[in-house]
Amino acid sequence: MAKILLVDDDIDLAELVRTKLADEGHQVAVVNTGEGAFEQAKQFKPDICVLDIMLPGVTGYQICRKLRKDPELYRCAILILTALGEEPEILHGLEQGADDYLVKPFRLERLMDKIASLSALLVQIDTRNRLTNLPGTDAIKREINHQLARGNPIATIYIDMIGFKGYVANRGPEGQNKALQFMSKLLVGLTRDMGIYECFVAHMGGEHFVVLLKLADYERFSNGLIDAFDHKSRELYSAQEIEQGYITIADKQGQEQRCKLMKLSVGVSHTQFRQFKSAKKMFEVLAQVRQMAQPNRGSICFVDRRRSDR
């Protein structure tokens, strides 16, 4: 069960919600004003915060921003309660770092569904891939949203292993595991060797990886990654395959096909020239950038340097 901080100035509603949450086995703390809510959170250290937006003294938006900027609390799940229910207000709350929203008035069953979803999210973001031991899509997107809400200058690097499917077709499941573990160790080891400790490495699935780091670190990391991969990935192939520059696979008709050795396609989006409001938008830009990063003779990195959406 979760530790839940409820911040709502409607005393009767807060007591009703507190009772329901407690009956479900959750540990609940209640604050009926914006003043002191953050201090209570620092003491209570909740897993989930349920924040009413319209509060006397300090708004729920302000509390949300403070939670996301605090090194001890920024990973907690945040549910905002709003009586407004208009899209601009909801989007604004999500841009401050909230994970979800609920429009007042609401049924208690709906609130319980939201709490269950946030609890599942907290479990999911702590789940790691069994092969690479890296967190997945939900975790990296949430981390990006948190960094954007905190106003930190960041860069997101999307990494594709081009030729991975051909390698797997040639080597089978054992080869697939070997290539993915090689890639995860390379990324984690490179951040450590370069002294880049404020970063977040994730495995999106298959041959897709993402690294989130400070804006100031992305160029040297990207360049170092390409150099390291093009050199160290040779250990995945035989001397003959390296010399000829390809491996052979059989197509559906049983015909032999040549497949080039694996290279990296690296795409970068960052906040140097544009202010992103969500991970979703950063990934939309990355999808465009990745189309430009098509390796030929070697791995390639393409950085989005546009100052607008055009």
Same domain, yes or no, for 109 and 164? no
Residues 286 and 280: beta-carbon distance below 8 Å: no
Same domain, yes or no, for 244 and 186? yes
228 found inside a domain? yes
Confidence check: pLDDT of 283 > 90? yes
Work out the average pLDDT over 240-263: 89
Counting every residue written for the chain, the total comes to: 310
- Reading the block at residue 85, the tokens are 């229910």
Q: What is the CATH number of the domain that holds 111?
A: 3.40.50.2300
Same domain, yes or no, for 153 and 281? yes
- Reading the block at residue 50, the tokens are 């349920």
- Reading the block at residue 179, the tokens are 């290539």
130 found inside a domain? no
With cut-offs at 50, 70 and 90, classify the pLDDT of residue 289.
Answer: confident
Q: What is the pLDDT of residues 205-215, one digit of tens each?
A: 999 999 999 99
Q: What is the CATH number of the domain that holds 206?
A: 3.30.70.270
With cut-offs at 50, 70 and 90, classify the pLDDT of residue 243.
Answer: very high
Distance, CA of 105 to chain centre: 31
Residues 208 and 165: beta-carbon distance below 8 Å: no
Q: Which of 74, 101, 125 is the last residue of a domain?
A: 125
- Reading the block at residue 54, the tokens are 């319209």
Same domain, yes or no, for 21 and 167? no
37 found inside a domain? yes
Q: Which of 125, 150, 173 is the last residue of a domain?
A: 125
Query: What phi and psi values does residue 178 have, to the nearest 5 degrees?
Result: -65, -45
Same domain, yes or no, for 160 and 242? yes
Confidence check: pLDDT of 233 > 90? yes
Same domain, yes or no, for 154 and 115? no
Q: What is the DSSP letter of 276?
A: -
Work out the average pLDDT over 262-277: 92
Same domain, yes or no, for 149 and 270? yes
272 found inside a domain? yes
- What pLDDT was estimated at residue 278? 85
Q: Which of 102, 125, 148 is the last residue of a domain?
A: 125
Work out the average pLDDT over 254-282: 90
- What pLDDT was estimated at residue 310? 55
Query: What phi and psi values does residue 287 have, to the nearest 5 degrees?
Result: -60, -40
Position 30, amino acid: V
Q: What is the pLDDT of residues 74-114, one digit of tens each?
A: 889 999 998 876 677 777 778 788 899 999 889 999 999 99
CA distance 73 to 138: 18
Query: Sheet containing 48-52: which strands, arranged edge to edge?
Result: 27-31, 3-7, 48-52, 77-82, 100-103
- What pLDDT was estimated at residue 177? 96
Total domains in the fold of the chain: 2
132 found inside a domain? no
Same domain, yes or no, for 278 and 218? yes
Same domain, yes or no, for 146 and 121? no
Same domain, yes or no, for 142 and 287? yes
Residues 278 and 259: beta-carbon distance below 8 Å: no
Same domain, yes or no, for 244 and 180? yes
Q: What is the DSSP letter of 10?
A: -
Confidence check: pLDDT of 175 > 80? yes
131 found inside a domain? no
Confidence check: pLDDT of 39 > 80? yes
Tell me whether residue 270 is exposed, middle or buried, using C-beta atoms within 10 angstroms of its C-beta: 0 to 12, 13 to 18, 19 or more.
Answer: buried
Q: What is the DSSP letter of 135?
A: B
- Domain of residue 34, residue span: 3-125
Same domain, yes or no, for 39 and 146? no
What residues are paired with 208 via a beta bridge? 160, 205
309 found inside a domain? no
155 found inside a domain? yes
